Amino acid sequence: MAASRGLQPSVTWAQRQDSVFLTIDVKDATNVRIQLQEDSLEFAATAGEDGALYSFQLDFFKPIRREESKWSTKRCPEFYLRKSSDETWPRLQKGAGKLQWVKLDWGKWADSDEEDEKGGFDTSALEDHESGMDFSGLSQEEVEGSDDRDSILADLDEEIAIETDGEDVTR
């Protein structure tokens, strides 16, 4: 599968000595196409009301163990990639230089001296890549998505009163 030309999604990543964790910022992705190889990942999906296409191709810094890797596409696509050898990668991608669309996931990141206290990545929600993804256990709320993100912004819709030099203005 060659990655079709589409919008470039943001990708965040973190690592441990034995693994890499990727999150692709494409919420509620549909028509997901994934081609995971030992040295690369090709991703394509549609999302949003207009069905915009998101895609990318990424060559890994070093090989991974494809058969031990997992992923999930429940909310944002997430990948747990098992490294072929236990070591810290200086970057995610093969070539030198920075990919503007790839950022560190500081929430999941652990330096080598912190790995024991942070532990491994929680992969309980991810599926083994060889098995099909089974969505039969999802509740209707999980299928439709959480309203938590909406409740955070709810107060932005409220009218507020602004007082300037004796005038009351409602916005």
Q: Express each pLDDT in 73-89 by its tens digit.
A: 888 999 999 999 999 99
How many residues are present in the chain? 171
How many Å apart are CA 7 and CA 55, to the nearest integer? 6
Confidence (pTM): 0.64
Domains and CATH numbers, the chain: 1-85 (2.60.40.790)
Q: Express each pLDDT in 108-138 by its tens digit.
A: 877 666 655 555 656 665 555 444 444 344 4
Residue 24 near residue 74 (C-beta atoms within 8 A): no
| Two structure tokens written together for 7 | 């919008």
